[in-house]
Amino acid sequence: MTQDAPSQSRKPSLRDPFDAGHAVALGTDWPLQLDCGTALGPFTMAYRTYGRLDAEHSNAILVCHALTGDQHPVDPPHSNRPGWWQLMIGPGKPLDTDRYFVICANVLGGCAGTTGPKEINPATGRPWGLDFPVITIADMVRAQTLLLDHLEIDRLFCVIGGSMGAMQALQFAVSYPERTFACVPIAGAARHSAQNIAFHEVGRQAIMADPEWCGGNYLEEGTVPRRGLAVARMAAHITYLSEPALHRKFGRRLQDRQAVTYGFDADFQVESYLRHQGSTFVDRFDANSYLYITRAMDYFDLVSEYDGVLARAFAQTPVRYCVVSFTSDWLFPTSQSREIVHALNAAAADVSFVEIETDKGHDAFLLDEPEFFAVLRGFLQGCSDHWRLTQSATGS
């Protein structure tokens, strides 16, 4: 593993923090050793920072994005829509950019600039497609440590993320406890459940059933598996919302009509909404990336990695954890966060656990949830106080 290998050029990216982002070549001296056995490098990591890194390089928060997220949680370029964590990150917000230096990188295998199946394979000069190696959550995290090396950040103040971001945050804290002061896994799990693997498999089969997918070579064939990817997104999108939220938002209301049409048009608002979710997703996401990233989530299993005893993953961890779940999240239900908390308790780790009452389902981690925000503010303030004590105690 090359996570401790220095990358070729150490340039802290402290230019205008609200620009459109950076891209850095990593793994140039030593390639990244992936779990599948392949060595990858050099590879590009696209990332974004918000706020200013302090002189001690001690105020960095790594934000890990979810399946279809990107490195632009705030002010995405070429978009008039807010970023996916626009509510969370910024001056005076829970991840306060007046205090913290927030880093967010597109994951390995992604399609927003970091090397993934849609990028060019230098060995062939053609898009990777299915020749791209299958990556894991641990691989994503290894790549992130190379980025931190590049930014000269030895230790994160905090690593945080929701959904797949929670998997990365957990993996980061478990693999690199010495580089992690605090960890906030939100709406996550220590292993991907059978039901969630099943939903991912449906999405993958929908993509691969589309003839325009061309066995993964659609970029070379000049096609796009639009319909398959849209179906995958539609199925997934249902799982991000709760039944009560769907009922509240749409119920059985009709779309621009007074009566049903006795046909297969989108009579109901919820159908129209889903179709819109599917068709707009295709414009911003790569179908092969969807295959790779869902597979990385399926493979995530911290429990089996530690011989079936999750507490061993946290043995003697110095990391302060705050585990967050949402009552109406049925994709990553509270029971799965509780499994993490029980293991942390069994390891006598420093952990707080909050289940937020909401009817908004899994997507609650992206939405305006005042109690959730208050919890994060409180936890980060508490960590900040401790961190200062630690720093002064060690004289650093």
Q: Is 202 in the site for a second copy (CB under 8 A)?
A: yes
> Tokens 């498999």 label which residue?
201
Residue (of 237, 321, 248) closest to 281 by Cα position = 237
58, 163, 337, 384: which is the annotated catalytic residue? 163
Assess whether 329 carries a catalytic annotation. Answer: yes
- Identify the bridge partners of residue 350 per DSSP, sorted by sequence position: 320
Neighbours of 254 (CB within 10 A): 15
101-105 vs 60-64, strand pairing mode: parallel
Rule CB under 8 A: choose which of 48, 65, 227, 362 binds a second copy: 227
Secondary structure class of 349 (helix, strand, coil): coil
Name the token pair of 334.
């509270």
Pairing of strands 156-162, 126-127: unpaired
163 catalytic, yes or no?
yes
How far, CA to CA in Å, does 81 sit from each of 49, 72, 73, 286?
19, 11, 11, 20
Q: Which of 147, 224, 234, 383 binds a second copy (CB under 8 A)?
A: 234
Contact 248, 269 (CB under 8 A): no
Total residues contacting a second copy by CB under 8 A comes to 58
Q: Which of 329, 337, 363, 384 is catalytic?
A: 329
Nearest to a second copy of 308, 395 (CB atom):
308
Residue 55, amino acid: A
Residue 244, φ and ψ in degrees, nearest 5: -60, -35
Binding residues for a second copy restricted to 235-254, rule: CB under 8 A: 235, 238, 241, 243, 246-247, 249-252
- Region binding a second copy by CB under 8 A among candidate stretches 140-148, 169-177, 180-188, 205-213: 205-213
Q: Catalytic annotation on 384?
A: no
**Out of 211, 220, 345, 388, the residue judged to bind a second copy by CB under 8 A:** 211
Residues at the contact surface with a second copy, assessed by CB under 8 A: 35-37, 130, 133-134, 191-195, 197-199, 201-202, 204-206, 208-211, 227-228, 230-231, 234-235, 238, 241, 243, 246-247, 249-252, 260, 262-264, 266-268, 270-271, 274-275, 278, 291, 295, 298-299, 301, 304, 330, 333
Residues with active-site annotation: 163, 329, 362
